[in-house]
Amino acid sequence: MNEPIRTELGKISSVRYGVGGYNDAMHGISFTLEGKGWGVQDFWGAWGAIIDHTDHCKWSEEDRIKQHGEIAMRISWLLQQAKKEDIGGLRGLPIEATFQGGGMGLLKSWRVLEEVL
């Protein structure tokens, strides 16, 4: 069964770098995206330093370092796209969000509307 996909226009209403994600045990960047009659949050992050690696973990320290590097590169790409020098400049930028499923749906992706910058 194909779930409906829809796009909505909105903006980045807030952006924050630090602790967040699952049980606030991760470290990364949090976005609040809002539009007319909708709002959603997105988090790009990895396990933070407060989580010690043990033999029972399904990830290694190298995995964590790689994830943090990938997030840094993703932030760098976003800043370049948005023509901003730091994450504070992302607030208020226009975005297009794609949702899948009924009702509000699940946020599948979002992008900065470079064409209107």
Query: What pTM was estimated for this model as a whole?
Result: 0.88
pLDDT for residue 43: 97
- d(Cα 10, Cα 38) in Å, to the nearest integer? 9
Cα–Cα nearest to 32, from 12, 62, 9: 12
**Three-state DSSP state, 75:** helix
pLDDT for residue 50: 66
Do 46 and 64 contact (CB within 8 A), yes or no? Answer: yes
Q: What residues does each domain of the chain span?
A: 12-91
In the chain, DSSP finds a helix count (H) and a strand count (E) of 1, 5
pLDDT for residue 79: 97
Do 41 and 29 contact (CB within 8 A), yes or no? Answer: no
Q: What is the 3-state secondary structure (H, E, C) of 8-64?
A: EEEEEEEEEEEEECHHHCEEEEEEEEEECCEEEEEEEEEECCCCCCCCCCCCCHHHH
The whole-chain average pLDDT of the chain stands at 91
Read off the pLDDT of residues 66-113 as tens digits, 9 standing for 90 and up: 999 999 999 999 999 999 999 999 999 999 999 998 777 899 999 999
Residue written as token pair 């699952």: 22
